[in-house]
Amino acid sequence: MTPSLTRSLLAERHRPTLESATRALRERGHFSAFSDNPRDYPREAGAAAFEALTQRRFDLDQPGTDAWVGGEVSPYGIPLGISYPHPDPEVLLPAMRAALPAWRDAGPEARALVCAEILARLADRTAELAHAVMHTTGQGYAMALQAGGPNALDRGLEAVAAALEAQTAHPAQAEWTRPRGRHEPLRIASTFTPVPRGVALLVGCRTFPTWNGYPGLFASLATGNPVLVKPHPRAVLPLALTVATARRVLAEAGFDPQLVALAAEGENEYSARALAVRDEVRIVDYTGSSAFGDWLEENAGQARVFTEKSGVNTVLVDSTDHYGGLLPNLAFSLSLFSGQMCTTPQNLLIPREGIETDQGHRSFDQVVADLAAAVEALLGDERRAASLLGAVAEPGVLSRLASAGETGEVALASREFAHPEFPEGRVRTPLLVRLDARQPDAERTLLAEWFGPVAFAVAVDSTAEALALLRRTLRERGALTVLGHTTSKEVEAALVEVCLDERAQLSLNLTGGVHVNQTAAFADYHGTGGNPAGNAALVDGAFVATRFHWAQVRRPA
Amino acid sequence: MTPSLTRSLLAERHRPTLESATRALRERGHFSAFSDNPRDYPREAGAAAFEALTQRRFDLDQPGTDAWVGGEVSPYGIPLGISYPHPDPEVLLPAMRAALPAWRDAGPEARALVCAEILARLADRTAELAHAVMHTTGQGYAMALQAGGPNALDRGLEAVAAALEAQTAHPAQAEWTRPRGRHEPLRIASTFTPVPRGVALLVGCRTFPTWNGYPGLFASLATGNPVLVKPHPRAVLPLALTVATARRVLAEAGFDPQLVALAAEGENEYSARALAVRDEVRIVDYTGSSAFGDWLEENAGQARVFTEKSGVNTVLVDSTDHYGGLLPNLAFSLSLFSGQMCTTPQNLLIPREGIETDQGHRSFDQVVADLAAAVEALLGDERRAASLLGAVAEPGVLSRLASAGETGEVALASREFAHPEFPEGRVRTPLLVRLDARQPDAERTLLAEWFGPVAFAVAVDSTAEALALLRRTLRERGALTVLGHTTSKEVEAALVEVCLDERAQLSLNLTGGVHVNQTAAFADYHGTGGNPAGNAALVDGAFVATRFHWAQVRRPA
């Protein structure tokens, strides 16, 4: 049977996008293949499509399904009532392995084109995906659409482009001719084939299942590896939609749909632990807690393990020439998705003597009060606040909020916020706690991750002390982001030095529409892979180059 | 003090070489920056330089030297009498760490230029290095010169070029401008700095200290990591010369010589075990036994570990259209350095019904007899044989030879060979043993590595059985090389399929001057990194991309 998606059709559709994407990777300027303007997507149709998925089985026609599992409840209060296939790995994994050779033999360009088609089909379902992300993660609709849809698709495309570049870094055939003086030259003709490592396991996370999942998924698939997707048990739907879309496209393109499969897990099954150490599994991508990330790095020795774990993100405030921009920018970063981003700042280090600003000297107390006021101003409009904050994904965040309030003096209390649309939603505003670095227990507080809407305004003796605390935090706990505010070239240089030494990503003096917790595909790296917050960066050369090997065949020419 | 090796001087000397090298990597044709014709190097002067190093201390002026150790005895019978600095890691490692920031800040091009100068200085010492390699590894002089000198330098240059490419895959600065309709566009200016992982540990091997050592050494150094070189205790001198040369060049170029240091070990100290798990050590490169390689992969979790371990190399003989070329080609591969290469074939799988050749049908017995005769013919000339065979490095090889002879019927006995120049040398000719795959213990024999001059001519029921045995060998033991001889397109396709599936490098129908145990830098990959013989390939993208991270600094533009 001729596949309906022929190679030439795919090439016509996607080659220009792939070319633009690989160029963007090399130039690192602005590039996006997918609009992230919510108005470009039909919200009502998306809601209807989402509704149609709920209260039923999500069938993927996978081999070896031995149970139907699922118990997602939207952080906005709605049980989704969807059940997903739970696999018998003894059946599913061999089926996935069997799909590998044809996918490998298709070559890097064909794989990239198929991946691009999967991304395009997912883009067609953006509004539906947005609802799925919203009602599993708790993100507000606009954010769920942007971060869960187009921004995630761009990160996926970035991985596809990087994988294509790595696999076409040199020709697939080459001739080697070595002169030998009066003798005939030696001649060898070689073929070079990128060969995949084996089955890749994607262990999805709760809060950003697509944005954090797509890079690994598409990097593995584009380099020839079948991908088994094990979503977080309370954020299955976005990845189930992804798997369904990928399987359909693969089949239409004439490939075995078993190349991408879903492994939903039962309540308290923790199936990733068993799957990650299976011999078939040769790649693991993981986003989540440091505890399990460390376990994977130590125990899944048969696989390459790519982790994004937890860290402690720091803001160092030394001085600013745009105080009026610093405050709303930071308030936004603390409030967005109620601080449930791995990139949200936690520790705000501020000299106890205050800081110099374009509005004159500001005391420590004043800065804290101004920041609290900026958060309140940002969240003053109820509809906007609801969209910005989203809902709290994990109930554990609520108890963490309560404990955090006891670590110091509350500068801004976390409020329970009545969502205008979903009265059952768990919505909380950010908590800002004042701490003094001299307090005996401050260190223990500041070197822990308080995932959720928790920030500490920390009085430090000096910028030098702040730099030392930053260095220690990065070394011991790692971070996805560091933000510095300073007008001093010396302090800036010292901040850069610390971040290079400890391998952390640094943003400086953000006072406008760019926020420390957001990165752009093709331009910005997410993480470095070089500090304790994770061993992988999205998307650098190491993220793709280690997913395949070169197999060379030499023949006399 | 102005360094005597200025950046512009280095650029003038080496930029053209680096450009040629990076182009060669992308094209994978023939390229070599260093002549490997022994006549281009002054043997007598090299011998004199080597002599001058013996019977004394090899001082490197390293901090933290707490003892002088060394007990090298040439496999040709000469004790070298050299002692080397043994480090106190508590002193040496902090000194190396302290050298890192300036080296990192120098940037990728400056590092590549300094590495190129180190390679050029080593090239100036080729004849001296050749003697050092010969009298530590046991290689014959010509091979020690070629493989230990220019071919190793080419592999080092290949690593430098690959590292430079990876670190300059995109600009060091970029601007990101995101349009926002009627609003001002968002603008961010970013800098991207490749930052090293930390101290790299090179664990050298006995038989090819430079050839197997230079790729890791130069890949790490070129990506900004200080390198601690822990040579095999009986093959220190080649790497000590390398370290001395590197330190001198670094100092002349204005960098801290502690960036490259030697860690010689005492007898039975096994210091690699302690060094590899130290927190400062973030990269380990290792060539040697599977036992310790596996240990490193499992235990040095704080580091990226690159291994080349042992494997079982197979030759599958199905048919040939150049029987007269097959025999001497294979005889050479078995004899070169008396089989002490990680790439030497071990199991020769031949259908028991015999094979079709351009000289008509040849029975199994005939093929084995013809091969034995080809080996004897190759080694008929005493001087040539001495140069080709070299000496046996490890006494353990001799007992292994004896055991191997008991596994089956000896088709060609290993002879003790009186070296014309070094009567004390341990020189042995290859042993060829006939085995039948049906023998009950054949499997145990064939799935073990018999490092040294040991080959098994194995009668198999059919080519299909040979392919199955090859697949099993690759899966369970791995291999650096596979060689196939066939005139059948179907058998060739099946061989390719097995090697792609099991991620092994394949050579086909070698009957001339190219041998399966030799690979050329820039054109050929050495290993794939994807089977149990090791997790690294020389030199692919993964070999360099995982040695550094990208640190980005974002500022409003």
Cα–Cα distance for residue pair B386/A218, rounded to 1 Å: 54
Interchain CB contact of A550 with B (< 8 Å) = yes
pLDDT at position A267 over 90: no
Interchain CB contact of A526 with B (< 8 Å) = no
Average pLDDT over residues A165-187: 95
Cα–Cα distance for residue pair B383/B161, rounded to 1 Å: 38
Instruction: Give A120 to chain B, closest Cα distance, Å.
Output: 22
pLDDT at A181: 87
Phi, then psi, of A399 in degrees rounded to 5: -70, -35
Beta strands in A233-278 (DSSP E): 260-262
- Count CB pairs under 8 A between chains A and B: 201
Residue with tokens 């200080």: B226
pLDDT at A1: 62
Cα–Cα distance for residue pair A104/A221, rounded to 1 Å: 10
Domain boundaries, chain A: 44-170+192-310+537-556, 314-508
Read off the pLDDT of residues A394-444 as tens digits, 9 standing for 90 and up.
989 999 999 999 999 999 999 998 899 999 999 999 999 999 999 999 999
Q: Which residues of A touch B497 (CB under 8 A)?
A: 101
Q: Which residues of B touch A326 (CB under 8 A)?
A: none
pLDDT at position A168 over 90: yes
Assigned CATH topology for domain B314-508: Aldehyde Dehydrogenase; Chain A, domain 2 (3.40.309)
| B382: CB partners within 8 A, 6+ apart | B420
Q: Which amino acid is at A543?
A: F
pLDDT at B1: 62
pLDDT at B55: 97
pLDDT at position B18 over 90: yes
Read off the pLDDT of residues B417-430 as tens digits, 9 standing for 90 and up.
889 999 999 999 99
Interchain CB contact of B170 with A (< 8 Å) = yes
- Choose between B181 and B13: higher pLDDT: B13
pLDDT at position A469 over 80: yes
pLDDT category, B181, cuts 50, 70, 90? confident
Please give the CATH architecture assigned to the domain spanning B7-14+50-179+196-309+537-556.
Answer: 3-Layer(aba) Sandwich (3.40)
Cα–Cα distance for residue pair B396/A397, rounded to 1 Å: 62
Instruction: Give B416 to chain A, closest Cα distance, Å.
Output: 33
Query: Model-level pTM?
Result: 0.97
Please give the CATH architecture assigned to the domain spanning A44-170+192-310+537-556.
Answer: 3-Layer(aba) Sandwich (3.40)
Read off the pLDDT of residues B500-513 as tens digits, 9 standing for 90 and up.
999 999 999 999 99
Interchain CB contact of B29 with A (< 8 Å) = yes
Cα–Cα distance for residue pair A78/A80, rounded to 1 Å: 6
Cα–Cα distance for residue pair B417/B375, rounded to 1 Å: 14
Q: Give the distance from CA B6 to its chain's centroid.
A: 32
Q: Which residues of B touch A29 (CB under 8 A)?
A: 174-177
What is the residue-averaged pLDDT of chain A? 97
- Hey, of A299, A500, A502, A524, which one would you mutate to test binding to chain B, going by the most B CBs within 10 A of its CB? A500
If contacts are CB pairs under 8 Å, which of residues 303-332 in chain A contact chain B?
A: none
In our burial notation (b when 16+ CB lie closer than 10 A, e otherwise), range B27-39 reads: bbbbbbbbebebe
Residue with tokens 């299942």: A209
C-alpha angle A484/A489/A490, rounded to 5°? Answer: 90
**Token couple for A220:** 């593995």
Q: Tell me whether 0.90 is exceeded by the ipTM.
A: yes
Q: DSSP characters for A69-89?
A: E---B-TTS-B---BEEEE-H
pLDDT category, B267, cuts 50, 70, 90? confident
Q: Which residues of B touch A180 (CB under 8 A)?
A: 513
- Hey, of A39, A176, A192, A322, which one would you mutate to test binding to chain B, going by the most B CBs within 10 A of its CB? A176
pLDDT at position A2 over 80: no
- Hey, of B103, B146, B176, which one would you mutate to test binding to chain A, going by the most A CBs within 10 A of its CB? B176
Q: Nearest CB to B550: which of A169, A497, A525?
A: A525
pLDDT at position A490 over 70: yes
- Hey, of A188, A277, A492, which one would you mutate to test binding to chain B, going by the most B CBs within 10 A of its CB? A188
pLDDT category, A160, cuts 50, 70, 90? very high
Helices A382-389, A323-335: axis angle to 10 degrees equals: 60
What is the residue-averaged pLDDT of chain B? 97
* Inter-chain touch B177–A30, beta carbons under 8 Å: yes
Average pLDDT over residues B149-163: 98
* Inter-chain touch A499–B170, beta carbons under 8 Å: no
Q: Nearest CB to B496: which of A174, A553, A556?
A: A553
| Burial environment of residue B300 by CB neighbours within 10 A (0 to 12, 13 to 18, 19 or more) | buried
Interchain CB contact of A299 with B (< 8 Å) = no
Instruction: Give A187 to chain B, closest Cα distance, Å.
Output: 8
Interchain CB contact of B57 with A (< 8 Å) = no
DSSP structural state of residue B509? -
pLDDT at A10: 97
pLDDT at position B3 over 90: no
Cβ atoms of residues B373 and B120 within 8 Å: no
Interchain CB contact of B52 with A (< 8 Å) = no
* Alpha helices (H) along B390-427: 396-404
| Rounded CA Rg of chain B | 25
Read off the pLDDT of residues A71-112 as tens digits, 9 standing for 90 and up.
999 999 999 999 999 999 999 999 999 999 999 999 999 999
Interchain CB contact of A380 with B (< 8 Å) = no
**Token couple for A258:** 């078993």
pLDDT at B534: 97
Read off the pLDDT of residues B114-149 as tens digits, 9 standing for 90 and up.
999 999 999 999 999 999 999 999 999 999 999 999
